[in-house]
Structure 1
Amino acid sequence: MRSNKLLVDWLRWPLYVRIILIVMLIVLLFGQVISLIEPDVFPTVFDGIWWALVTVSTVGFGDYVPETVAGRSVGIVLILIGAGFVTTYFATLSAAAFQKQHSYLKGETAYKYGNHVVIVGWNEKSNELIETFQKIKPYKNIVLIDDTLEESPLIENLHFIKGNPTIDRTLIKANIEKADAAIITADQYKSETDADMQSILILLALKGMNPDLYTVVELVTGLHLNNAKRAGADEIIKSYQLSSHLMMNSYLAKYGLSSVYSELNPANGNYFKIIPIPPELVGKTFHDASHTLLEKEYLLIGIKKGDQTKLNPPISQILHEDDLLIMITH
């Protein structure tokens, strides 16, 4: 039983570790043997080990050469056995490196780090998100979860996980417990209702494994808005409203309003920011606060109080301690 246990423990070691140990044993053994057979040519055991190492590596410096039949016979055996193991060792390393790269490209390699952003679903929105992250937060690592891609998009700082994002095994590979945030995009291959149901199911899976995870979920209809709130979404993007509002505002304003929206892309240097009201602005009017913040290059555009948001409020409105300020900054 003990010998069987030793064999099992030995076989559990990585193949390349086992091969290098065997090669080291062969070098030490043949180095000892050759120094005993030809002490004149190999005066020390170290000289024999050096010759054995040079021989199995097929370098062959020629500084030590066996002179007797017995010594040369030992050399022949060493070449046949040792060189074969060395070749196998390097072939194993090459195969392991190729397998690792193949697994990475196929989305089979688990992500081991933390403080990353998880993006669920590969589509044009995801691609735009990743490009924006690279411009404003190039140091931020992103993990993409998708079950439709065959290979990783090969984008810098992007780690691809192939799999169903509602399954624990996939989320464990994405190291969701150590993630900073998750963004769930709607599945473009499903109907609108099915896409929203799928997004909420993914949200439940994410929150189940990491309740403190900050989550942003996209909904393409309003049917499951309350379900998304119940599931714990921190931010709900109502793409159906955003698109329709943009089109209506473009119709009303004319003169290329869509280019204004493009300028609000964080990648272009402008983005929204919501902050608690600074103590020195409590009790001041919206007008006075706007001038104070403008000197710091913050454009105050509205106030948020609880679930209520008011853009462009009356300039005489007084700011209170529990207000949040909505600004555009760069």
Structure 2
Amino acid sequence: MHPREDPSVDLLRLASLQGGVLSTEQVAGHGLGKAPVQRLLRQGHWQRLERSIYLTTAQPADWTAEAWAGVLLGGSAARLGGSAAGFLHGLVSDEPRPITVLVPADQVTRSRYPWRFRRETADVRDRRTPGSPPRTTVEDTVLDLCDEGSVGMAIGWVTKAVQSRRTTVPQLRRALRRRHRVRHRGLLEELLGDVADGVESPLELRYLRDVERAHRLPKGERQLHGRTPFRRDVAYPQYRLVVELDGRLGHEGMHRFRDMWRDNVTTVGGERTLRYGSFDVNVHPCLVAHQVGTVLQQQGREDAPARCPRCPINV
């Protein structure tokens, strides 16, 4: 009678590093034969996710296990891309399915749920594969997401990636230069310049473009502390005016009192505050511009805000 053969400590350690997933090559490479594998499957200790992929637990596969399975199916050069990489980098909120797996351009791997295999051309993306499971860099992930999304989504991903310090404007610019074909290239090049100037959210970008620039208001200073302990969204120090932008749907609880305290501190310091939300900036940018322009004139600016093609007649 042959002694019972169990997975080695090293094999189990490898599985724990891969979301509980192993390939048949890895299992064989660690000396575990077909008979003990069949026993583990039969007894329900392991599961077969694919013909060549095992899950070393009796529990249903979670997203991480599925992601690792896709990488192992894709081979040694495979890595996660698109929204799957975005989720791992903290740019995408929900676990995406299908899971995008990038494989070399000369490799053909059939897509099947929950995996979508895509061939990538060499030298388009950075060769580095940070993290576990391996994935594209933050910079390439942002550009891939922008390729798949709308203008608004592209603005959100770029500003979120930079604001959260996952990457920087120079790093994104270098990644952008490596690519010959990029959706929204003109927008991205302009957007990266705006982000470098201190824009940290899509709402701030809309204010910069649709309020400030469109109506030829003076360029505000962004994300500065000034003489207060608070960061100002937009400040016009020469005219002692601060504009605060808030994209939240409500200002209840502590947020409301924090905003009130901030405005009071600004007023005590001899400055005036105007506060706007997403609805104001997105739906009525011209009214916002003319309010801001009026206060700037009251504070000493000579020029009135210019009219843009969208301005209503009565503004």
When the two structures are superposed, what TM-score results if normalisation uses the length of structure 2?
A: 0.32
Larger radius of gyration: 1
The structure richer in helix per residue is 1
TM-score, length-normalised on structure 1? 0.31
